[in-house]
Amino acid sequence: MPLSATTVSVKKTFPPLLFFFVSFFISFFMLMSMAQQTVASEIPAESSLEDAWKTLSQKNYNKKSGAIEVIAQQNPPEARPAMKAMLEGQLYYAKRGKALYFLKEVNDNYEFTPLFDTDPALKPVLQENRRGFKKVKVNNRLRRMIRQLLAVMQLKHEDADIRLAAVQELLKNPETEAADLVKNAIGKETDQRVITSMQTLLAVIQLENGDETAQLAAINTLANSLNSSAMNALTAYQAPTKALENKAQSAINKINDKRDLYAKAETIFFGLSLGSVLALSAIGLAITFGVMGVINMAHGELMMIGAYTTYVVQLLMPDNIAMSILVAIPAAFIVSGLVGIAIERGVIRHLYGRPLETLLATFGVSLVLQQTVRSIFSPLNRSVETPEWMSGAWQINEVLALTWNRLYIIFFCLAVFMALIAVMKKTSLGLQVRAVSQNRTMARAMGVRSKWVDALTFGLGSGIAGLAGVALSLLTNVGPNLGQAYIIDSFMVVVFGGVGNLWGTLVAGMSLGVINKLLEPWAGAVLAKILVLIFIILFIQKRPKGLFPQRGRAAED
């Protein structure tokens, strides 16, 4: 269904996931920073790395803790995976030989892979139970220590992104102890983003513990940061002097202004991506409805066919999801286009000049298509896998992240639109389409094969519906009712933009998307959609021919 909860809904799987990670890391780093001091002092100098690994299979927790410190300090490549496995209770040792293994449960079986795969004597073991192996047990104290050590190792990691994440997590719960750690690291740091976050972290700590000059400097640093802990620190800040208090207050205001700005930018971005979906689904309709005067109620089902084509293409090339979308684009265009031509040849050509009758007949077509899909693919929803290059987000700064799939959809919509405009303005087909739509008889007199043009125009419109289907398949589930959810919205966009005007359709789609998203925060998704529908109904009263009406002098069409 749909602008809606049935919404032209864009999957929002990202935030809960983010929340999960955030909460995970918060606990992680809180514990780490608490015991930072104790870690450094207790390392027994004489133990070697090999002994340390062996000590892990002992029962004594104190000895184990010493061993873990040694391993962390020397930091061999196995250290991180081993420590992680220990936290998750998946590091085991063989009762015979005391070699260390990772445990992985595979289909009710237990698979033990040796930690040191260089040793030829050790082989992966697959068995039904855990006989012969024993878990490397850790208690809460060890667990805490391992978490701290892992975090420290992360700050020294080669990958700048991981270092950045580590600092970000420290920022979520800044502790004085972290200051020394960061101060050491900041000198060696090369990545600008990491340096900035580290500076923010230091400023937050200084704001709490530094003298007045340090506090002033900290306020100045924090005023330029968008990090939420910077904000928290400033809000909680007890200023010793009036001047500092004013300074802090103006810093808070500055941050708030910036955040509002970015929040607005994000809303508009969401609106534009929703608008792109609307515009994409409406552009095809704008051609069949606007240029040909045919009300194609099966338009939604042509989108559905495009979406199912994407699904089938993925089934055919399961090893190459990344490429499958690129293959699906032309495939969906061709499949939907051919179905469209079949509809035109079979049904619509008998009904030209009777727009209301085309509405009924194509509605019949839409029912048949839906049932066909239901018979072939079952009524259950299918889902199309999002390729890797489309997942994730473009992190512009700490409060503004644009998800790639939405960005790509905006680009895709614009590209389709530009291609269509080019076809209509630059090719002889476009010229003929425009001629037939303006004056059929005259065009035929000039030698335009109007029937052929009709079929191709309808095919073009349907093909674009198929392209919209590809985009939709990445956003929602693919099911037999996919089209129905979008058909009303698509008509609204075309009518709002002005029939027969492609630019109008684009503008209408984008503006309806943005209006919808602007209303959503205070009205809720469903109510926002209702308001948009009412707005369009009222708008049509005011301007019965849409935003950009076709000019003419006739009393009526």
Partner 1 sequence: MLLMNILKNDKPGLWLLGILLVVSIAVPILNLLVPENSAFHISTYTVTLLGKYLTYALLAVAADLVWGYLGILTLGHAAFFALGGYAMGMYLMRQIGERGVYGDPVLPDFMVFLSWQELPWFWQGFDQFWFAALMIILIPGILAYVFGYLAFRSRVTGVYLSIITQAMTYALMLAFFRNEMGFGGNNGLTDFKDILGFDLRADSTRIALFLASAAALAIGYVLSRIIVSSRLGLASVAIRDAESRSRFIGYRVENIKLWVFVFSAILAGIAGALYVPQVGIINPGEFSPLNSIELVIWVAIGGRGTLYGAIIGALLVNYSKTYFTAALPEIWLYALGALFILVTLYLPKGIVGLWSLRKTRKTQKMREEKT
Report the C-alpha gap between 519 and 390 in whole angstroms.
Answer: 28
In the complex, least distance from residue 421 CB atom to partner 1, rounded to whole angstroms: 24
Tell me, rounded to whole angstroms, the distance of Cα 557 from its chain centroid.
45
Written as six digits, the tokens of 465 are 């519906």
Supply angle C-alpha 184, 252, 224, rounded to 5.
45
Strand 401-403 vs strand 393-395: parallel, antiparallel, or unpaired? Answer: antiparallel
Size of the site for partner 1 (CB under 8 A): 46
User: Cβ distance 92 to 124 under 8 Å?
Assistant: no
Binding flag, residue 360, partner 1 (CB under 8 A): yes
Residue 495 binding partner 1, by CB under 8 A: yes
We find the least distance from the C-beta atom of residue 161 to partner 1, in angstroms, to be 43
For the chain, report the end-to-end CA distance as a whole number of angstroms: 32
Among residues 330, 355, 387, 549, which is the contact residue for partner 1, using CB under 8 A? 355
Among 327, 488, 523, 547, binds partner 1 (CB under 8 A): 488
Question: Smallest distance, Å, CB 395 to partner 1?
Answer: 35
Cβ proximity to partner 1, 66 vs 498, nearer residue: 498
Closest CB to partner 1 among 243 and 360? 360
Question: In this complex, which beta carbon is closest to partner 1, that of residue 244 or of residue 533?
Answer: 533
Judged by beta carbon, residue 135 or residue 350, the one nearer partner 1 is 350
* Cβ nearer to partner 1, comparing 405 with 437: 437
- Binding partner 1 by CB under 8 A: which of 26, 243, 317, 367? 367
Q: How far apart are CA 501 and CA 203, in angstroms?
A: 56
Rounded to whole angstroms, the Cα distance separating 247 from 229 reads 18
SS3 478: strand
- 265 binding partner 1? (CB under 8 A): no
Judged by CB under 8 A, does residue 351 bind partner 1? Answer: yes
Nearer to partner 1, 322 or 534 (CB): 534
- Candidates 206, 336, 370, 501; binder of partner 1 (CB under 8 A) is 370
User: Strand ranges (DSSP E) for 31-168?
Assistant: 91-94, 100-106, 109-114, 125-127, 133-135
Span near partner 1 by CB under 8 A; candidates 152-160, 174-182, 215-223, 490-498: 490-498
Positions 513 through 552 that interact with partner 1 (CB under 8 A): 526-527, 529-530, 533-534, 536-538, 540-542, 544
* Distance (Å, whole) CA 537 – CA 533: 6
Task: In angstroms, give the least distance from the CB of 379 to partner 1.
Answer: 11
Instruction: Tell me the C-alpha distance between 326 and 30, whole Å.
Output: 45
Q: Which of 296, 366, 432, 501 binds partner 1 (CB under 8 A)?
A: 366
Q: In whole angstroms, what is the distance from residue 550 CA to residue 557 CA?
A: 11
- Which residue's CB is nearer to partner 1, number 319 or number 556? 556
Is residue 557 involved in binding partner 1 (CB under 8 A)? yes
Near partner 1 in 84-123, by CB under 8 A: none
The Cα 323–Cα 320 span in angstroms is: 6
Q: CA angle at residue 133 from 132 to 137, to 5 degrees?
A: 150
Q: Which of 357, 393, 503, 549 binds partner 1 (CB under 8 A)?
A: 357
Both tokens of 59, joined, read 């029962």
Question: Token match 């998203």: residue?
Answer: 517
Cβ at position 550, least distance to partner 1 in Å: 13
Q: Are 546 and 496 in contact (CB under 8 A)?
A: yes
480-to-278, 386, 442 alpha-carbon distances in Å: 19, 20, 42
Q: What is the DSSP code string of 373-435?
A: HHHHH-SS-B-PPPPGGGSSEEE-SSS-EEEHHHHHHHHHHHHHHHHHHHHHHHSHHHHHHHH
Count CB-CB contacts under 10 A for residue 188.
8
Least Å distance, CB 447 to partner 1, is 29
Cβ-contact 152, 181 below 8 angstroms:
yes
Rounded least distance, CB 6 to partner 1, Å:
8
Distance of closest approach, residue 251 Cβ to partner 1, in angstroms: 40
Site for partner 1 in 308-347 (CB under 8 A): 347
* Interface with partner 1, residue 38, by CB under 8 A: no
**Does residue 555 belong to the site contacting partner 1 (CB under 8 A)?**
yes
Does the protein bind partner 1 through residue 376 (CB under 8 A)? no
Query: Quick one: which of 76, 124, 132, 364 contacts partner 1 (CB under 8 A)?
Result: 364
Least distance in angstroms from the C-beta of 363 to partner 1: 6
* Residue 230, token pair as written in the block: 């910077």
Which of 27, 375 has the CB closer to partner 1?
A: 375
Count other Cβ atoms within 10 Å, centred on residue 110.
Answer: 18
Q: In the set 68, 91, 304, 365, which binds partner 1 (CB under 8 A)?
A: 365
Instruction: Give the residue, chosen from 375, 381, 395, 397, that forms a contact with partner 1 under the rule CB under 8 A.
Output: 375
* Closer residue to partner 1 (CB): 31 or 297: 297
Could you tell me the sign of the dihedral formed by the alpha carbons of 295, 296, 300, 306, in that order? negative
Question: Token match 């609204």: residue?
Answer: 492
d(CA 206, CA 237): 11
Q: How far is the CB of 7 from partner 1 (least distance, A)?
A: 10
Q: What SS3 state is found at 460?
A: helix
Q: Of the listed pieces 416-424, 438-446, 461-469, 487-495, which binds partner 1 according to CB under 8 A?
A: 487-495
Which residues make up the interface to partner 1 (CB under 8 A)? 4, 6, 289, 295, 297, 347, 350-351, 355-357, 359-361, 363-368, 370-371, 374-375, 484, 488, 491-492, 495, 499, 526-527, 529-530, 533-534, 536-538, 540-542, 544, 555-557
